[in-house]
Chain A
Amino acid sequence: MTPRLAQRPKVPRPTDAELAILRVLWRLGPRSVREVQRALNDERSDPAGYTTVLKLMQIMTTKGLVSRDDTQRPQIYSAFQGEARTQRQLLRDLLQRAFGGSYRELVLQALSDRKATQKELAEIEALLDRLEARR
């Protein structure tokens, strides 16, 4: 019995690479790393190495995006959340970002949003050190 909506754990938003892996799992069902990698490289232009895919899927397991079946060798990974739910979640995130609005435009901040570069910070340090030494 699937848990009630309120009790289902909240799954984080997948990155682009994670989304590609999830699509393979949704299309083919539970698969091992080797099979996922082969399916991925069929459709992509730049092939991903086995270790890369393995690392990604291990991270996805910790994040809760996929679940791993350890009882067999090789290990079988399956998507934790269905495709429809993930798509709804992504759509909601997109709308949130587009219509979200930010407090930063509305408040008076001491520094601007744009962060300084290493080079800029170094120049600032040099300038201030020079002035303090002069006093």
Chain B
Amino acid sequence: MNLQWDPIAFLLTVLGWTVLHLIWQGLLLGAVAEILLLGLRRSNPRFREWVAGSALVMLVVAFVVIGFKMIGGAFELGPARLAGSAALPPAWLPALAPWVGGAWVLVASFLLVRLLRGIAEVGNLRVNDVTPAPSNLGGCLERLATRMGIERRVPLLVSSRIEVPALVGWRTPVILLPGRAVQTLSPGEIEAMLAHELAHLSRWDRWTKATGLVARGLLFFHPVTHRLLDRLDVERERACDDLAVAACGSPVLYARALASLEHARQARGARVLAADGAPLLARIRRIVEPGARLPDGTGRRLALAGIGILVFSGATMAWARVAGPCLPAAIADPIFPRHAHHHTLSPESRRVILDYLQELKQNGYVAKDRTRIRIREVTHSQPSNKAGP
């Protein structure tokens, strides 16, 4: 048997197994996060943002940790060791793993290219077709920033290429205003929009958004990732709405500004049909008719407790013996039939394995601890005459 140790196949297998394991762990973490978010539904959006963000971070951490554990434990004689329990994954799963890994690499590369091009487009956006904002708006921005307690001064520019005001850039951000909005909105309304963007600036929103992009690049395959990212976006905007309303003084004024902005960007008339709910209406309703809210102290304590639960569950799942589907035996047995591995090895199989081990040793392979134990188990076990795996 000619041994060619293929590092690429190995890496793809590791990736594939990591992805497969993360699917069920992600579902569990996602379920925990949903329950926590439901419990926090009447509190400050900031706390829900913390919970959703922590869940996402734990997913990424789980991905990395499981990946490393796969690398450490992958020099095994069978896939069985990847499951800590006696329940084994079905026989076709290990063969699938490298293909899953390959697919992951393809899609991740594609997303990376898109990300880089997006970044280039962002760089383009802040330089081309922009004019400095009129000086009255600049003064307005100054006063707002002082009122909101923001020391950092960012340039204010008017762009003919965007429809909606945006905070653009990471280390050197600028605020871009759409040309049409500057013409059609009243000064009070423009000030409300500036307050919203300044709120984004004063929080760490640029960086949480960037982390979200990394998470999406790694964990694009899981629906929980997308759900959490959408949730994060929503809560981020809500939290900034709260800050902006506090700076403007009047919720109705701020809501008017949002509505006027939406009018201004409807180029050829508003859409007539929509299948999904009315998010702008819901957002404005929350601003002008807030309803009873959980006091911040309680909310903060709940959120921190929730984050603790998430960290604990995520860490336990990732660090435990990377157990496969942890189903009770009654359910697992028909799906994943138990094998007592070495007892069912036929003499021919033993011979093949021992030859393989010999060749590995000749090629300078040094087994890690767990593998050494397994090799000992196999080589010292009694051969049986049953048909082997």
Contacts and interface: CB of A to CB of B under 8 A. Distances in A.
A7 interface: no
Interface of B is mostly: helix
A64 B259 CA distance: 40
Contacts of B200: 108
A100 B121 CA distance: 9
Nearest to B115: A101
Interface stretch (A21-29, A75-83, A113-121): A113-121
A112 B205 CA distance: 15
Contacts, number: 126
A99 B114 CA distance: 5
A120 B165 contact: no
A118 B279 contact: no
Looking at A100, A121, A124, A127, which has the most chain B CB atoms within 10 Å of its CB? A124
Contacts of A109: 164-166
A124 B236 CA distance: 22
B168 A107 contact: yes
Contacts of B276: 114
B261 interface: yes
Interface residues of A, number: 29
A63 to B, nearest CB: 19
Given A101-B114, A115-B265, A131-B288, A110 B166 contact: yes
A105 B217 CA distance: 13
B72 interface: no
A93 B142 CA distance: 43
Given A108-B166, A125-B259, A117 B113 contact: no
B281 A120 contact: yes
Interface of B: 110, 113-122, 125, 164-168, 193, 196-197, 200, 205-206, 209, 213, 233, 236-237, 252, 255-256, 258-259, 261-263, 265-266, 269-274, 276, 278-281, 284-285, 288
